Structure 1
Amino acid sequence: MSDIAILANTAVAVLAIVVLIVRFRVNPVISLVLGSLYLGLVTRLGLDETVSTITGGFGDIMAEVGLLIAFGVLMGAILKEMGAIEQLVNHLLRLFGPKRLPYSMSLTIGTLLQSIYLDVLLVISAPLARTAARRIEPLGTPRMAAALAIGLECGIVLMVPGVGTLALAALLGVPLGTMLLWGFVLIVPTILVSVAIMTFLFRVGFWNPARDEAADAEPADVAGEPAAERVPQAVAAVAAEAGDPAGAGSGPAAPGPVRTAGGPATPDEVPAGAAGGPPLVVRFAPLIVALLMIASGAIAEAAGWENAMLGFVSDPVVALLTGLVGTVLVGRFAVGRQRVEAAIANGFRESGQILILTAVGGSLAAVVSAGGLGDILSDYFTADTFAPLLLVWVIAAVLHIAVGSVTISAITAAGILAPVAPSLGIDPVLIALAAGTGSLFAVHVTSNTFWLLQSLLGQTTRGTLKTCTVGVSIASVVGILLLMPLSLLF
C-alpha cells in the first residue's frame, strides 16, 4: 500500500473514532477498538494479523501499567475515605493563607493527589474551594475555579501516577521514574505561571460576576449536608446530556454517583477527617514514600549507580504496592477495617474503566505501528529538538479539540507518534510531555470536568469557558513553551 493510502486511512480511522464518540456517543473503548480494526484491515496487516495485533497491544500496555493504575486508584479511594483531602485543604489554608490558596491548592492537586480518580477528586475538593473562595474575595470564585481546573488537568498527563501520564510513559517506553522527575520539573512552573496569568486577567476585567457567576447557585453546604454528597449524580446527568459520552471527558469514563463507601460506622471506626485520627503527614506518608521510591530509580540511573536492591525498591510496581499496603494500614487505624474494605471495593469498580480505556489505547498504537505509519512520519521529522515537539503538541491539541478528552487525545497522539520516536534523536520523555501538554488545549463542553466545575463552583457556562477552557489552554501553551528550552538539557 502506498504512503498516501496509509496516511489517508489513518486519518479516516481517527476521524471515525472522533465521530463515534462525539456525534453518536459510542463508548470510547468501543470506538477505539473499531478504529483499530478498520486501520488494521485496510493497511498491510490484513485479515490475519489485525486481531492479534490489537490483542497484543492491549496486553503489552496492561503488562506495563495495569498494576500501577490499579494500585494508584485503590490508594486514592482509601485517602478519600479517610477525609485526607478535606484535611489537606484546611491545612493549606492555615499554612499559606487565603490569598495564596489558589496556587498551593492547584499545585497540591496537580502533583500529590493524582492517585485519586479525577471526578471524585473534583467533587470532594470543589465545595472546599468554594468555601475558601468567599475568604479571598474579590474574585475568589474565578481564581479558585481556574486553579482547580489547571491543577486537575495538568496532573492527569504530566504527573505520576496520573492515568494519562502512566499511559504516555508506557506507550513511548519512558521509565516511570524519569517521567516522574521531568513531569514534576515541568508541572510546577506550568501551574504557577498559568494561575498567575489567570489571576492577572481576572484583575484587569476578564471576569464579570453578574454574567459569569450563577445567581441561583447553592452554598457549599446546605443544612449541614456536604455538597460533595449531593450533586454528583445530577452533574453526571448534565454532563451526559451535554455530549460527554460514557466519560469521554477529561477522565476515562464518568463515574457513577460519588458516595461515602460503607455503611454506618462501627464502634472502632472514626469518622473521616475527625479529630483524634492520624495527622495529615501520616495519612499521605505511604503515597509520598512510594513516589520517592520511584524517583530514586531515576536519580540512580542518572548518576550511573547500579545496585540490584535499589533497582528492586525503585521498581514502580514494588513502590506503589508498598504505598498501597501502607495506606491500607493507616486507613484501618483512621476509619476502621470495614470502611477501608468498602473503599477498596469502590476503587476496583473505578479502576476497571480506566484500565480498559488505557489498554485499548495501546491496541491502537500497536496497529498504527504495525501498519507502517511510523516509517512514513519519520520522513517528516528532523533531529531538530524544537520542530518535532511543536508538531507533537499540535497533533495532541487537534485531537483534544475534536474528541474533548484529555486522556484519549494524549493516548491517541502517543500511539501515532510512538513508532517514530526512536528516529527523532530526542528523549522519548520529551515526546510524552509534549503530547501531554498538547492534550490540555481547549477543554470545552464535551469534557466532564467542564460541567462539574460549572455546577460545583456556581459558574455560568460563560464563566466556565473562562476559568476552565481559557485557563487550561493557557497551561497547555505555557507547558510547551517551558518544555522547549527544557529539552536543551537532554
Structure 2
Amino acid sequence: MLALVVGISTIVVLVLRTRLDAFAALLIAALVTGSIAGSAPTDTITSITTGFGTTLGSIGIVIGLGVAVGKILEVSGGADSLAKAFLRAFGKGREPWAMGSTGALVSIPVFCDSGYVIMNPLARSIARVKQGGYVTLALALGCGMTLTHHLVPPTPGPLGVAGILGADLGGLILVGLLFSVLLLPVVVAYAKWIGPKLESEINAEVRNAVYESATVGSGGHGGTGTGTVVDDPATSSGERPERKKLGAGVASLPLLVPLLLIVLNTAATAIDRSNQGVLGPEDDYTASGWAATLAFIGNPVVALLIGLVLAVYVLLPRWTPREKVSGWLADAAASAGLILLITGAGGALGQVLRDSGVGDELAEAIAGTGLPGILVPFLVATLVRLAQGSGTVAMITAAGVSAPLVTGLGLDPLAAALACCAGSMVFSYFNDSYFWVVTRFTGLDGVAALKGWSGITTAAWAGSIPLVLLAGWLL
C-alpha cells in the first residue's frame, strides 16, 4: 500500500514541480513502486517493458489512426459542416442544445482544444444575431466536447484506457455514447443557469468581438491537441485547402463508418458466441463465416484505416497536393506521439502493480472497507486530475492502477474503463490547458471562469457518479 501511495505521489510531484512530463513521471513512478514493493530491479524493468509493449501493441495503431482522421476532418471543413447541420436540426430557441450536441459529436475524432477553436465562431455568430447568451453557448459547446473527449473512443484517452484494462472497444463506444447522451442535459442545464449570471463578466475585448464586430479576433491560450490556438479562431484550423462546401452526410462518413463497423463487430461476436453456446471470455471460440468477416472489417485497426481513407479521398478535394496531405498527417502523428508514450507508460505502471503484488493487496484492502469497487478507478482518476490537470493522464493513470484489481474486485473491464474516464472530468481549472482555451475565448477571468468552466465540468462529473455505480452493478 505504501508503494502505491508513493508511486502516485511521485507522478503528481514530478508533473507539478519538475521539468519532466507525464511520460517520464509514469515510468519513474513504476520504478519507485516496484522498488518499494520489494520486486527485484531486473523484474521491475521487465514488468515495465512488458506492460509498455503489450499496451501499445493492442491500442497504439488505433490511437494514431484516430488522430489522423480527426486532423483531416479539422482541415477539410468537415467539422464545420457537421456543426451547422446540428444547428439547423435543433431549430431556433434550442441553440444551447445544438451547441452541446455539436461539441459532443465533433470531439469524438477531433481534440477538444482544436475542436473548440474551430466551432467557437458559430457560438459567436449565434450570440451576435441574438445579441445575448454567448456565455451559455460557449460553455455548452465546450463541455459537450468534454463529454465525448473523456468517454467515447476513438478519442485517445478512452482508447488507452480500453487497451490497459482489456475492455471491449465496441462496448465502450456504445456505453460511452449513452453516458454522453444522459449527461448532456446536465451540461446544458448548468450552462443555461450560470450563463446569464456571467454574461456581464465577459471582458471588453471579447464582448466587442462578439456583439459589436463582424470579425472574431480574441486570442487564446495554447493547448495540447492536434491544432494550435491562434489569434483568429475563424482561421485556426490550419491551412485549409480551397474546396467545395461539404454536406453533413459526406462529412460524417469518416466518423460514422468506423464507429458503425466496430459496433457491428461487437454485436456480431456476441450473437455468434451465444449461438455457439460459448459465453465465458476464457472459453475457446472460433468465429463463424459472417462473424469472422465482421470481426475483420470491424477490428478497430481496419475500421479506422477505412475511416482515414474516406477522410483523405472523400473530404479533401482531388486537387489537394499530396505534400500538403502528408504534412497534415505528419502533424497528426506528431500530436499522437506523446499520447502514445503516456498510454504505454500507464500500461507499464499497471504491469508493475500487477507483478509486484500491489494490486492484489489493494483489492483485499478495498474489499474490507465495503466501498463499492467501481469507485476505486473513479476516485483515482478524480484525484490525479485535480492534482495535475490532464484528463488523459488521469484516466490512464487510473487504468494502470486499476488493471490488477479488476478480477479481485469482481469488476467488468468495461465498467472499470467507464469509471476511469468519468472520474477524470472533474473540476477543470488552472492546470488544464483546455481551461485556458475555453475561458479565453469566452472572455471569462478569475472567479467568473471558475464558476463557469470549472463548475460545468464538475457538474458533468457529479452527474456521472450514479451512472458509474449503475454500470458497476449491471456489467
Query: Which TM-score band applies after superposition, normalised by the shorter structure?
Result: 0.7 to 0.9
Corresponding residue for residue 154 of structure 1: 147
Question: Cα offset for 1:392?
Answer: 2.9
Instruction: State the distance in 1 between where 2:447 and 2:120 align.
Output: 18
Pick closer, same or farther for the CA change 1:18–1:83 going to 2, 3 Å: same
Which residues of structure 1 form unaligned runs of 5+? 1-6, 240-246
Instruction: State the distance in 1 between where 2:210 and 2:45 align.
Output: 50
Corresponding residue for residue 390 of structure 1: 375
Q: Can you list the C-alpha shifts for 1:39-96, whole angstroms capped at 9, x where unaligned?
A: 2233232211222221221111111111111111111111111112222222222222
Question: Cα offset for 1:213?
Answer: 1.5
Pick closer, same or farther for the CA change 1:478–1:11 going to 2, 3 Å: same
Corresponding residue for residue 464 of structure 1: 449
TM-score, normalization by structure 1: 0.85
More off after superposition, 372-381 vs 125-134? 125-134
Corresponding residue for residue 164 of structure 1: 157
Pick closer, same or farther for the CA change 1:24–1:136 going to 2, 3 Å: farther
Q: Paired residue for 1:176, among 169, 176, 183?
A: 169
Q: Can you list the C-alpha shifts for 1:297-319, whole angstroms capped at 9, x where unaligned?
A: 22223334542111112111111
Q: Paired residue for 2:438, among 448, 453, 457?
A: 453
Which residues of structure 2 form unaligned runs of 5+? 274-286
More off after superposition, 433-442 vs 25-34? 25-34
Conserved? CA contact 1:128–1:220, under 8 Å: no
Question: Cα offset for 1:188?
Answer: 0.8
Conserved? CA contact 1:98–1:136, under 8 Å: no
Corresponding residue for residue 86 of structure 2: 92
**Which letter maps to 1:162?**
T
Conserved? CA contact 1:393–1:434, under 8 Å: yes
SS of the residue corresponding to residue 216 of structure 1 reads: helix
Tell me whether 1:316 sits opposite 2:300 in the alignment: yes
Corresponding residue for residue 243 of structure 1: none
Question: Cα offset for 1:326?
Answer: 1.0
Q: Paired residue for 2:242, among 255, 270, 275?
A: 270
Question: Cα offset for 1:385?
Answer: 11
Conserved? CA contact 2:146–2:425, under 8 Å: yes
Instruction: State the distance in 1 between where 2:355 and 2:471 align.
Output: 32
TM-score, normalization by structure 2: 0.87
Corresponding residue for residue 280 of structure 2: none
Question: Cα offset for 1:449?
Answer: 0.8
Instruction: State the distance in 1 between where 2:68 and 2:112 align.
Output: 13
Question: Cα offset for 1:225?
Answer: 6.7
Conserved? CA contact 1:150–1:472, under 8 Å: yes
Corresponding residue for residue 199 of structure 1: 192
Instruction: State the distance in 2 between where 1:405 and 1:85 align.
Output: 24
Question: Cα offset for 1:16?
Answer: 1.9
Instruction: State the distance in 1 between where 2:211 and 2:194 align.
Output: 29
Pick closer, same or farther for the CA change 1:427–1:145 going to 2, 3 Å: same
Instruction: State the distance in 2 between where 1:342 and 1:222 align.
Output: 37
Question: Cα offset for 1:331?
Answer: 3.1
Instruction: State the distance in 2 between where 1:197 and 1:303 align.
Output: 40
Instruction: State the distance in 2 between where 1:340 and 1:352 align.
Output: 18
Corresponding residue for residue 459 of structure 2: 474
Instruction: State the distance in 1 between where 2:430 and 2:95 align.
Output: 27
Pick closer, same or farther for the CA change 1:346–1:31 going to 2, 3 Å: same
Tell me whether 1:291 sits opposite 2:259 in the alignment: yes
More off after superposition, 327-336 vs 362-371? 327-336
Question: Cα offset for 1:170?
Answer: 0.9
Question: Cα offset for 1:364?
Answer: 1.6
Q: Can you list the C-alpha shifts for 1:422-476, whole angstroms capped at 9, x where unaligned?
A: 1222321111111211111111110001111111121123222122111011101
Pick closer, same or farther for the CA change 1:33–1:255 going to 2, 3 Å: farther
Q: How does 1:313-462 map to 2 (within 5 A)?
A: 313-333=297-317, 336-338=320-322, 339-382=324-367, 387-462=372-447
Pick closer, same or farther for the CA change 1:304–1:42 going to 2, 3 Å: same
Tell me whether 1:121 sits opposite 2:110 in the alignment: no
Corresponding residue for residue 283 of structure 2: none
Corresponding residue for residue 186 of structure 1: 179
Tell me whether 1:216 sits opposite 2:205 in the alignment: yes
More off after superposition, 128-137 vs 373-382? 128-137
**Which letter maps to 1:215?**
A
Corresponding residue for residue 39 of structure 2: 45
Pick closer, same or farther for the CA change 1:385–1:327 going to 2, 3 Å: farther
Conserved? CA contact 2:111–2:149, under 8 Å: no
Corresponding residue for residue 23 of structure 1: 17
Instruction: State the distance in 2 between where 1:108 and 1:399 align.
Output: 29
Corresponding residue for residue 102 of structure 2: 108
Tell me whether 1:145 sits opposite 2:102 in the alignment: no
Tell me whether 1:282 sits opposite 2:250 in the alignment: yes
**Which letter maps to 2:204?**
A
Instruction: State the distance in 2 between where 1:136 and 1:61 align.
Output: 49
Question: Cα offset for 1:222?
Answer: 11
Corresponding residue for residue 82 of structure 1: 76
> What do you get for the CA RMSD once the two structures are aligned?
2.8
**Which letter maps to 1:195?**
V
Instruction: State the distance in 1 between where 2:41 and 2:9 align.
Output: 22
